[in-house]
Structure 1
Amino acid sequence: MSRSHVDAQQAVLDEHHDDPGELPTMRARFEHNGSPRYLLYTIKRFGFDRDHDFHLDVELVSDALEDGIETVEAQLQEGHADLIDIDYISIARERAEGADIVAFHPYGRTVGGLVAPEDSDIEGLTDLSGHRIGVVRRLDKNWILTRAACREYHDFDPDETATPVEAGSKVELTRMIREGEVDAGLQFWQIVPEITETGPFEEVLPMSELVQRLSETDNKLPIAAFLTSESYLDGQRETVRAFTAAYRDAVDRLVEDDDLWVEISEKLMSYDDPAVMRAVRDGWREMVVRDWDQDSVDGMYRLFDHLKAVAGAEALGVAEIPERTFETDP
C-alpha cells in the first residue's frame, strides 16, 4: 500500500476529528492495512465516541517492525497511544516480559483459511498429507492451528506428512496459490476473498472452525483483542468502558448496514470488485467478536495449551499466560 493511499485513508478519518473540548481522549493507533480501521471509521463517522462521552483520536501507523516490536506495540509501550489491537499470544508475551499492558475487550477471530483450486482433491485436514501447502511462515498461527487440529483429531502432523512451503509474505503466498506452485495455501482471512472471488479457487476450511474446536467453548472465541496500558486503565477506567460501548454500537451498525460497507469500500479499501468487497464484509462479520466473558477466556487458555504443545513455548515466545492479562469487565 502506497504512502499516498495511507495518507488518503487518514484524511478520511480526519474529516471526523472534531475538537474534543473537555472530553477525555483515547489515542487509538492502528495499522493502516488492518481491518480494525473499518470499525474505527464507523465510530468516528457516526459519533459513537461522543455518544459515550469521550473523544477517540485515531491515527493510522506503519506495520513495519522496529527492534522486533510492531510499531503499534511500540506506540503503546512508549506512551504515545492508549489503544491498539494485537493477538492475545503476543499480548501474553509482552506482559510476561514486563510490559504495562492489559487486554480489556475482544476484537475477533483474526485467523485465515485454507484455500485450494476448485478442482483440488484437498477437501479438509485429512487430505493434506503428500501435498505442498503454502504458508507465510512455518510459525504462522494458521499453520500451528492446522498442526494442532491434525494432531488432536486425526493422529498425524502435517509438518511431517505434508510439505509446508514458506512464502515470506501474504502477497507472495497469493502469487504461489494462483500460479500453482503450492497445492493449497493458508492465507489470512481478509485476503481470502481476493483469491476466491477472482479465480477458480475456494476456501476449503476456515481456520475459525479449528479455533472453536480446540478452545472447547461455544462462545465465539477472539484471537485478537484491544489493549491499553494498566496505568491508563487505572486512571481512565470510565473512558475504557466508554470505548467498549462505542465498539458494540459500531459492530451492530457494521453487521446490519450494507450501505455503510459500500461507503467504506470507496473510502478505505483498494478493491475495485464489488464481489470482493461483499466477501470482505461477510468475512468481517463472521470474524468480529462483540463481547466476551470468563468462559471465553478459559477457551483462550485451552487454545494456548494446544498451540504450545505443537510449537513449543520458545516458538510462541511465552511459556504461560500471565495473571491479569485479560480484564473481561473493566
Structure 2
Amino acid sequence: MSIESQQAALDDLHDEPGELPVMRARFEHNGSPRYMLYTIKRFGLDREHDFHLDVQLVSDALEGGMETVEARLQDGEADLIDIDYISTARERSDGAEIVAIHPYGRTVGGLVAPEDTDIDGLEDLPDRRIGVVRRLDKNWILTRAACREFHDFDPDDEATPVEAGSKVRLTEMIHGDEVDAVLQFWPIVPEITETGPYREVLPVSELVQRLSGTSNRLPISTFLTSEQFLESSPETVRRYNAAYRDAVDRLVTDDEIWEEIGAALMTYDDPEIVRAVRDGWRDMVVREWDKETIEGMEHLFTSLLDVAGAEALGVKEIPEGTFRLEP
C-alpha cells in the first residue's frame, strides 16, 4: 500500500494540537510501528496523556548512508523514530545526539526462500546469493554472527550478499529470482509467504536468543529521540511512553482493531495475512524494560562484537548514555 494512502488514513485521525505539546513521529511506511501509531491516534491515546503525536510516514530508502527516519531525527525534523540499537550505538559513536527512550521489540526478520529451495538452514548459505537491505542491516549481522559461532564460516565471505537498498526492492528481488533467498523484515514475511511459492526458512529471532544466551525477550529496536528534545521536553517523552504502553495493551488483546489496521495500512487485506502479522507483532513487541533488560542487550552486543567484530557492526561499543530508563 502506498505511503500516500496510509498517510491519508492517519490524517483522518489527526486533530489540532491546540495548547498540547507536540511530538513529531516519523516512521517508515512499511515498518510495524505504524500499527501502534495508528492505534494511538485511533483511540486518542496521545490526547488522553496530554500531548499531541504528529505522525508522518516516510520512505525506507537511504539518505547519505542512513535510513530516512534517522536522517529526519538528526536533521531536527523529527522527535521520535525507531531503529535497532546497534545502529543507534553506531550513530551515537559518530557524534549523533540521539538517545533510546523506550523499547519497541524484537524487530528482526526471517530468511525467506522459494518453496522448492534446498536451503534449510544457515549451513546452506555458502555459494548462495542472499538479498539484504544493506550489509550493516541487523538481520545480516546477526546471520553472520550465528554462522561464525555455530557453523564456522562467514557468509559475507562464502555467500554473496546483495544489497537492495530498501525493503520494497528486497521483495522485488526474490519475486524476480534475482537472489536465492532474502533476509526480509518480519512484517513483510507473511506478505511473501502467504501470496506466493515461498517459505520462511528461519526466523532471525531464534538467532537473537541463541546468541544472547538468555530466555529473556530482548528488544532489538528502540524508540529514539534527540538529546535536545529529551532535555527540553522530558514530560512529553514520559507521556509518549505511557501512550505506547496503552496501545500495546490494546493491540495484544483486541482482534477487531487489527481488521481495521489491515484495511487501512497493509498492502494485502487477506484475513490470513492480517492474522499472521497480528500474531507476529504480539510475539515481537516489548512493553517495558528495566536494568536487567539493558544488561541483556549489552550482553548480546558483546556476543555479536566477539563473533562478527567491530568492522561488521560498524561500532566497537555501546556509548555511555545510549539508553535512558527514566526520561
Structure-2-length-normalised TM-score: 0.89
Residue aligning to 1:8: 5
Aligned mates of 2:58, 2:128 — CA distance in 1: 38
Matches within 5 A, 1:216-295: 216-295=213-292
- 2:273 is paired with a residue whose SS is helix
Question: Does structure 2 retain, via aligned residues, the 8 Å contact 1:144–1:310?
Answer: no
The aligned counterpart of 1:66 is 63
**Is 2:80 the counterpart of 1:90?**
no
Deviation at 1:272, TM superposition (A): 4.0
Q: Is the 8 A contact 1:217 1:295 kept in 2?
A: no
- Alignment match, 2:38: 41
Q: What is the SS of the residue equivalent to 1:30?
A: strand
Matched, 1:166 2:157: no
Asked if structure 1 preserves the Cα contact closer than 8 Å seen for 2:129 and 2:162, the reply is no
C-alpha displacement of 1:212: 1.6
- Note closer, same or farther for the CA distance 1:129–1:257 as it changes in structure 2 (3 Å cut): same
Q: Which moved more, 1:250-259 or 1:229-238?
A: 229-238
Q: Deviations over 1:6-33 (max 9, x none)?
A: 2332222222222323322212122222
| Equivalent position of 1:135 in the other structure | 132
Q: What corresponds to 2:314 in structure 1?
A: 317
Task: Work out whether residues 70 and 81 of structure 2, in 8 Å CA contact, stay in contact via their aligned partners in 1.
Answer: yes
Distance 1:136 1:10, change over 3 A: closer
Partners of 1:98 and 1:146 in 2: CA distance: 28
What is the CA–CA distance in structure 2 between the aligned matches of 1:235 and 1:138, rounded to whole Å? 36
Asked if structure 2 preserves the Cα contact closer than 8 Å seen for 1:85 and 1:226, the reply is yes
Q: Which runs of 5+ in 1 are unaligned?
A: none
| C-alpha contact 2:149 2:307 (8 A) present in aligned 1 | no
Mark the CA change 1:70 to 1:267 in structure 2 (over 3 Å): closer, same or farther.
Answer: same
| Alignment deviations for residues 124-163 of structure 1 (CA, whole Å, 9 cap, x no partner) | 33444465544344443222212211222333334445x2
The 2-side partners of 1:99 and 1:44 are apart by 29
Query: How far did residue 311 of structure 1 move?
Result: 4.1
In structure 2, the partner of 1:20 is 17
Name the SS of the counterpart of 2:53 in structure 1: strand
Which of 195, 200, 203 aligns to 2:200? It is 203
> Which letter maps to 1:288?
V
- Residue 54 (structure 1) aligned with residue 51 (structure 2): yes
Q: Quickly say closer, same or farther: Cα 1:276–1:324, change in 2 above 3 A.
A: same
Residues of 1 paired with 2:15 and 2:256: CA distance?
Answer: 24
5+ residue gaps, structure 2:
none
Give the equivalent residue in structure 1 for 2:107. Answer: 110
CA displacement 1:211-253 (0-9 Å, x = unmatched): 1221223321111111112222223222211111110111111
Does the residue aligned with 1:105 lie in a helix, a strand or coil?
strand
Retained in 1: the 8 A contact 2:28–2:58?
Answer: yes
C-alpha change, 1:132 and 1:81, in structure 2 (3 Å) is closer
TM-superposed CA distance for 1:113, in Å, is: 0.8
> Per-residue CA shift, 1:180-236, capped at 9, x if unaligned?
554443222122112211233321211011112212233211111111122222232
Q: Matched residue of 1:256: which SS?
A: coil
Partner of 2:303: 306
Mark the CA change 1:51 to 1:152 in structure 2 (over 3 Å): closer, same or farther: same
Q: Return the TM-score normalized by structure 1.
A: 0.88
SS in structure 1 at match of 2:77 = coil
What is aligned with 1:326? 323
* Aligned partners of 2:218 and 2:296 also within 8 Å: yes
More displaced 10-residue stretch of structure 1: 276-285 or 118-127: 118-127
